[in-house]
Structures are given as C-alpha cells and as structure tokens.
Amino acid sequence: MAVRTLLDAIRDTLADEMRRDDTMIVLGEDVGIKGGVFLATDGLFAEFGGARVIDTPLTESLIVGASIGAAVNGLRPVPEIQFADFIFPAFNQIVSEAARLRYRSNGTFACPITIRAPFGGGVHGALYHSQSVEAFFAHVPGLKVVVPSTPYDARGLLRSSIRDPDPVLFFEHKKLYRSVRGEVPDTDYVVPLGQARVARPGDHVTVIAYGLMAHYSLEAAELVEADDISVEVIDLRTLRPLDRDTILGSVRKTGKCVIVYEDNRFGGYGAEVAAIVAEEAFEYLDGPVVRVAGPDVPGVPYNHKLEDWFMVSPDQIAAAIRELAAF
Amino acid sequence: MTTRARTAAGSAALDLAADAGLRPDQLRDMYRLVALARATDERMWILNRAGMVPFVISGQGHEGAQVGLCYELRKGHDWLVPFYRSVAACITFGMSPRDIMTAQFARANDVSSGGRQMPGHYGAAIHNVLSTSSPVATQLLHAVGIALAAQIRGTDQVALTALGEGSSNQGDFHEGLNFAGIHHLPVVFVVENNGYAISVPMALESAVPDIAMRAAGYAMPGVVVDGGDVLACYRAGHEAIDRARRGDGPTLIEAKVMRLTAHSSDDQQTKYRSAAELEEERGRDPLPRFRAQLLAAGVMDDEQLAAIEAEIKVAVDDATDWAQAQPEPDPATAERYVYADEPAPGTGA
C-alpha cells in the first residue's frame, strides 16, 4: 500500500480509469501538456494523447456543454474547471442542461459526466481563487456533489463518480492537495456515493463537516479532549445524495450537533443539514444546532490577516464545541 | 396538356431533379415533408385557439429551410440537435406527427418528455434527436460535443444543430463555433434567421447584417441561403453535411426565413410588425413556392399533389385524435428519472 497525497490519488485514479475505459476523456484549460495548474492531470497527455486529453480555450460553458454532448454520443467525459470560482459561466450548462437532461427526456437521455474543480480558501487565493461553491449545486436535483477529504476517499469517490450514470460535481480542496497524505491501496476499491464516514467516534458532541473543515474538526476534537469532551466527527464526503442515516444516528446518540463549513454562513450547505437535524432529531437534541461557518462577506480577502480572519479555524470550532457541550 | 407540353414538362422535371442531385420521387417527398410540417403546425394553433392546448411555439415559414437543410442527414445515424421551431426538421429526421401531437397534448407517451416539457421542446432518443431545453444556444455546445465524440470514436456521424438568429448572440454560440473551428468537427450550424428575437428586430440584434459573416472569425464557411427556396437549402445542407463527413470541418449556414406566426401563442406580433411587412413575408412562403416549382417542372402533377394532400390530412387528423386519446402522465411518476434509479421505458435495462 502506497502513501499518497490527495493530488496523487486523483491523478492516479484519472489515469487508471482512462486505462480501464477507453471512452473516457479529460478536457479543460491547461489539462494537456502542462498537466493542469495543480498537476492533477500530469502525465495523462503523454500516455493517452491529445484526442483524449484535450486542452480547451478559456470557455467554461463549452467545457461542460461539449461534455454533455460527448456523453450523449457515447463518451465518458471528465471535464476540469480550473478553479471552482470560474465555474459560473458553465452554471447554465450544469443546472439547466446536465442536471435536467434525464428528467426532461423522461429517462431517455442520460448525462454521465464528472466535473472536477479545485475549491476552497486558505491558500492566498483571494476572492476569485478561494470560493466554496458547493451550495449552489447541492441545491439542484439531478446533480450529485462530492467532496473528498482524504487520499483514500479521493480515489474511491472519484472512481464512483466517473462510473456513475449521472452528472457529478467533484470538488477538491486546494489546501488538501499536497498537505494531506494517506495510505491508498492499489486495488480497484470504490467508495460509494452517498455514504458519510465517521472520522472519529465520540459520545458527547457530533461535529459534521467536509473537505478542509473535516480536518479542522478533527483538530478541534483533539483540542477539547483536555476538557473531557468526547467528539464524534462525521465527514460527509458526499453532499448530494446526503447520508441522513449516519448524521441522525450520531446526533440521536450525542444529542448535540455542530455543523462546520467554510462557505459563507447564510444559506450555506450546512443550513440544510441543520434543518434536517432540527426536523428529524429534535426530540434527541440537548442544545441548539450550531453552525460554524465563514463570515458573510463576498469573498475571501487576500491579505494574510484578512484571510485568517475569514477562514474557520480549529480554535473556533473547539470554542463552539465547548459552548455547546456546556449546555 | 398537349404531348409537346408534356414532353417539355418532363424534360424540365429531369432538369430540376438532376440540378438538385435528387430523383423526382425525392423531390415529392421533400414537398410532402414541408406540407406535412405545415399542416401539423397549423393544427397545433387551431387546437390552441380552440382552448384545447395551452401553448404553441412552432415554425411556420421555417419548414422549407429545415426540410432542405436536413434532408441529406442519415436517419438514425447522424444527430439532430433542434430548437423550438424545428417541427419540420424533427419530422424530416424521423419523428412522426403523432410524436409532435403527443408533445402538444403533454401526454404520458410523448416521446420528447412524457408531458414534462412545454410543447416545442422536442427530442427522441431512438431517432438521435437530442432533447431540448428553453435556454437558447445551449444546444450548440451539445452538438459540438456530439461531433467531438463522433470524431474521437470515428463513427462517421454528423451533428446538425439549429437555432434562431436571436440565439446567435449568446456566448455559447461563440464558444461552440470557435471550438468546432479549431478541431474541424463534423457539425453543421444552422441559423434560421426570421428577423426577430420575439419583438426585437435584426437591426437591434446584430452589428453585421448577416449572421453568416461571423463564420470568418471561426475559420469556417459562412453561407447565406434563401430559406424560402427549398432546393437552395438542400444544396447548402448537402454541401455542409458532406464537408463535415469528409473531415473538412464545420459550416455556418444562415437561412433567411420568415415567421408567419407570432413568436408563440402568447405573443401578438401585430404590435411590432406592420401589416404590409406581414403581407410581404407571406408572399415568400416556401410551401406555395415549392409546390408551384414542382408543378411547373412537372415533377409533381395535380393528381400526385392531391394524393399527398389527402395523405397529410389523414396523418394530421390521426395524430390529433390519437394524441388526444392518450393517457395523461400520472403524478405518481413525477419523481422518476431524477437519477438513473430506474430503467427508461422500453430500454429493457
């Protein structure tokens, strides 16, 4: 078993899937010879050639729109949007077209594409290289939304996404690309979509997170151990379809729930989780459902101090856990 | 008709057919398609005005261009990526008047959407007619992707997509044509220019008088064709389809058509178009023009015309009655096909 970064796991999986399925193509900006701005597609051009690893013009709508057409005509496209911040020109293609194709054709057309996009802050990317965009897409029936936080999960989830018969948005946190390492088996394992992972078992407080915040939540759990607070951390891994059973099972056990997300607080993905917990586990709750989330400003500022101000920290999460535990 | 006249007409028929590269029976078939699309379309409006269907959006005035441009496509092999005025194109490519009418009545067995979409949003997986949406120009990118897959897979397929001139101002138009030009993709872009984006006239839609002029920016031929001239459209379509299939890349065709109805059943075009303009446009209608052309050339005689008209009447009546009698979709099925949880009807999956 090899120790790999999250970025390695993604690159290895793309290559494996292209070897396994000769209908798979990769397309996007700089994905060819350069191998992507983060090197997630490095080596694919050399191995599979320009017909299957396609450098596109700066045309996000085309990257997704042509992927939809190619999928309809027998290919399995895995488009890359260079930064999630730049996905909005493709929003119409994703939401109006990819998400609705199966439904609007009464099940006679399908759209098996996996749109990969790096997202998230804490990397000095400022307003337009730091955004969390998952809430926009998790809202839409017909789409699946996946956010891995470990190399093992990245590999298993990316396999499941590429093989899935429906459109998947696969968001990769930039800060985790090289900072997280883990053992990744060489086997052809998959991590099924729609299954959360109990990243750390505990008894007193449930903390629900994904992406970078799953790691920060684990750090926070360590911090509050000294206060004799036992924290259960759930890494959602898939935001849609959502694993309600794992969430509700944990909250019914602990009676306390903290939801952590990096995106702006108002209307963020965690709000939906909070609503589900409030509706379906109300009688088990021993305190308010708490959200720890990014501030409601229109972007992550560039300056170091300003960026630190924006980003949710393990200390903030720990403070919220302590406050809730005291209820 | 004297013997001499008949001989002259016979010779003209052969000339017309030979000139187009078509047999006389193919020319009559094209006429049948134009007339069938028109009759189906007119029936949709009658049903709307009678209060039997809530909405119509259709293509009266576009039919000649659509039949001509699509006639050379290979049914069941090539792809048609239509838009909401593509009634005649869809019929030419294999959809039936029943298919059109079940969409109009939003019935459960509507092949386009099972009654989920507004009428005019055609699609038929079995005929390689891609499902359409309401946002405009999005479909160009799907045609480009279909053509990309055809090129990569080496399937020898051509994708033909159609749009209005209004849609040609969307960003997806630029992104799609540019990419198709770069990769010499087997795709034909057909802009059916009827002069209006709902109420906004061409002068306020485009800085250049012909949308086809934009082709120069994408290194592909830009062809302007009279959309009222079915055979001119056929020649333009044939050339573009052949070119695409040969691997020589895409073509942008602009057919100057007319909009003989309002934008949709919810529009009143006399508010922004003069009676004189509408009258002038009706004079360019491809249906009587093509009919006169075939009759004059002796490709079609009065008897054959009468037989075609009778067949069309039967087909449209049948489609209307049949579609109306079909069951409505059951709300219990409204949650199906969000994801691939269930096999599609008839796929056996």
Q: Give the C-alpha separation, A292 to A273, whole Å.
A: 12
Min CA distance, A294 vs chain B (Å)? 32
User: Taking CB atoms and an 8 Å cut-off, how many pairs form between chains A and B?
Assistant: 155
* Contact residues, chain A, for B153 at CB < 8 Å: 23, 73-75
Residue B333 lies in a domain: no
The secondary structure of residue A59, as a DSSP letter, is -
Residue A102 lies in a domain: yes
Mean pLDDT of chain B: 94
pLDDT of residue B18: 76
The average pLDDT across B220-236 equals: 97
Q: Which of residues 76-95 of B touch A (CB under 8 A)?
A: 79, 81
Q: CB-hemisphere CA count at 13 Å for B23?
A: 3
Q: CB-hemisphere CA count at 13 Å for A226?
A: 6
* Contact residues, chain B, for A102 at CB < 8 Å: 337-340
Residue A309 lies in a domain: yes
| Facing B145 at nearest CB: one of A69, A104, A109 | A69
Residue B335 lies in a domain: no
* Contact residues, chain B, for A242 at CB < 8 Å: none
Q: Give the C-alpha separation, B120 to B54, whole Å.
A: 12
**Cα dihedral across residues B21, B24, B27, B29: positive or negative:** negative
Domain hosting B87: range is 24-262+269-323
% of chain B exceeding 70 in pLDDT? 94
Give the bridge partners for B234, in sequence order. none
CATH of the domain at A20: 3.40.50.970
The pLDDT of residue B10 is above 90: no
In the chain, the amino acid numbered B340 is A
Q: What angle do CA B114, B116, B119 make, to 5 degrees?
A: 90
The pLDDT of residue B8 is above 60: no
Both tokens of B19, joined, read: 């000139």
Q: Choose, out of B112, B141, B161, the residue to mutate when testing the contact with A (most A CBs < 10 Å).
A: B141
Give the bridge partners for A77, in sequence order. A25
| Facing B138 at nearest CB: one of A72, A96, A109 | A96
Q: Which of residues 115-144 of B touch A (CB under 8 A)?
A: 116-117, 121, 123-125, 130-131, 133-135, 138, 140-144
Residue B10 lies in a domain: no
pLDDT of residue A288: 98
CATH of the domain at B306: 3.40.50.970
Residue A98 lies in a domain: yes
Residue B298, Ramachandran bin (φ over 0: left; ψ between -120 and 50: alpha; else beta): left
* CA distances, B244 to each of A71, B92, B174 (Å): 20, 19, 19
Min CA distance, B17 vs chain A (Å)? 35
All residue ranges of chain A with pLDDT < 50 are: none
H or E stretch covering B187: strand B187-193
10 Å Cβ neighbour count for A15?
17
pLDDT of residue B20: 81
Contact A57 B182 (CB under 8 A): yes
Residue A30 lies in a domain: yes
pLDDT of residue B15: 78
The secondary structure of residue A180, as a DSSP letter, is -
* CA distances, A82 to each of A39, A117, A239, B94 (Å): 11, 6, 21, 40
Band of residue B9 on the pLDDT scale cut at 50, 70, 90: low
Same domain, A165 and A34: yes
The pLDDT of residue B1 is above 50: no
Residue B2 lies in a domain: no
Same domain, A289 and A315: yes
Residue A33 lies in a domain: yes
Residue that the structure tokens 């990118």 belong to: B141
Band of residue B16 on the pLDDT scale cut at 50, 70, 90: confident
Residue B3 lies in a domain: no
Residue B87 lies in a domain: yes
> What domain count does chain B have?
1
| Facing A102 at nearest CB: one of B143, B155, B340 | B340
Question: Rounded to the nearest 5°, which phi and psi values hold at B38?
Answer: -65, -45
Give the bridge partners for A292, in sequence order. A260
CA nearest A211: which of A250, A252, A179?
A179
Question: Rounded to the nearest 5°, which phi and psi values hold at B102?
Answer: -65, -30
Min CA distance, B314 vs chain A (Å)? 28
Contact A72 B178 (CB under 8 A): no
A106 CB-contact burial (10 Å; exposed 0-12 / middle 13-18 / buried 19+): buried
Residue B9 lies in a domain: no
Residue B249, Ramachandran bin (φ over 0: left; ψ between -120 and 50: alpha; else beta): left
The pLDDT of residue B349 is above 70: no
Same domain, A207 and A176: no
% of chain B exceeding 90 in pLDDT? 91
Question: Rounded to the nearest 5°, which phi and psi values hold at A239?
Answer: -90, -30
Q: Which residues of B are catalytic?
A: 259, 263, 272
Residue A192 lies in a domain: no
Same domain, A109 and A134: yes
pLDDT of residue B342: 57
Residue B296 lies in a domain: yes
* CA distances, A261 to each of A157, B170, B207, B314 (Å): 20, 35, 47, 63
- Contact assessment for residue A282 and residue A187, using Cβ atoms and an 8 Å cutoff: no
10 Å Cβ neighbour count for A226?
8
Same domain, A44 and A175: yes
The average pLDDT across B225-243 equals: 97
> What domain count does chain A have?
2
B11 CA to centre of own chain: 31
First to last CA, chain B: 60
In the chain, the amino acid numbered B28 is R
Q: Give the C-alpha separation, B12 to B31, whole Å.
A: 17
The average pLDDT across B78-92 equals: 98
Q: Count how many residues are written for chain A.
A: 327
pLDDT of residue B325: 98
- Contact assessment for residue A5 and residue A181, using Cβ atoms and an 8 Å cutoff: yes
Band of residue B343 on the pLDDT scale cut at 50, 70, 90: low
The average pLDDT across B209-231 equals: 98
Domain hosting A247: range is 197-325
- Contact assessment for residue B134 and residue B118, using Cβ atoms and an 8 Å cutoff: yes
